[in-house]
Amino acid sequence: MNLEAGDPQCVSPEEADKLLAGAPWQRFAVLGDSLAEGVLDPPVDGYAPVPWPDRVAEALRRGRPTLDYRNFGARGLRAREVRAGQLAAALEFGPDLATLVCGGNDLLVPAMDRAAVEADIDAMVGALTAAGATVFVFGLMNITAATDRMDLLKPRLMGLNASVRKVAARHGALFVDLWRHPAADQRDLYSGDLMHMSARGHAHIAAAALTALSTRLG
């Protein structure tokens, strides 16, 4: 059964094509941690097991078949490691569209330095926008709404999202706010370890990203 087709928080290929009509982007880069890489566990019946960055790239490629797409994301990285290991390669690739997702692993460090994390994210978003890319970033989803095991994480998540929002405003990047996502409290959006997203979660993130991108095409 194709549950994805009836999920109000997903977009069909036809809907995605309408959202991206006239999209000019030809080189799409993804930077970040496991959420950027597209770690997807477990599969959810009725949802295609396709990570959100690949979904976005597929939608863009339908309108521009020559799209060049590079995903530099790698699991387990903190913001400073993403900056050190991915930014130069992404800039060399020369994207006109880029997205960055990181900071989640920094939340797990007992002595997290939020200012340092914000500075690393700011440096990456600033460099990408200065190079001419349209950049979109995310406010992470409120995973604490789906479990009673992570209450201590909530203020850190909110703080990181506030930092990313400030960075986006500073550089004119798109901020995709997943915190208030209407399905954030539904357990099957997340993986078994409550650290990653399920196939359904990736479908929802892709829909939110495509909707945000459409606002740059009006």
- Counting the structural domains of the chain, the total is 1
Q: Is the dihedral of CA 84, 90, 96, 102 positive or negative?
A: negative
Domain that holds residue 114: 3-214
Q: What is the pLDDT of residues 9-63, one digit of tens each?
A: 999 999 999 999 999 999 999 999 999 999 987 667 789 999 999 999 999 999 9
Instruction: Spell out a b/e string for 20-35, using b for 16 or more CB atoms within 10 Å of the CB, else e.
Output: beebebebbbbbbbbb
Contact 101, 53 (CB under 8 A): no
Domain containing 152 — which CATH number? 3.40.50.1110
Q: Half-sphere exposure of residue 96, counting CA atoms within 13 Å on the CB side?
A: 8
Q: What is the pLDDT of residues 87-113, one digit of tens each?
A: 999 999 999 999 999 999 999 999 899
Residues 6+ apart with CB under 8 A from 135: 97, 98, 99, 100, 125, 128, 129, 168, 171, 173, 174
Q: How far apart are the first and last CA of the chain?
A: 35
User: Worst-scoring range by mean pLDDT, 69-83, 98-112, 136-150?
Assistant: 136-150
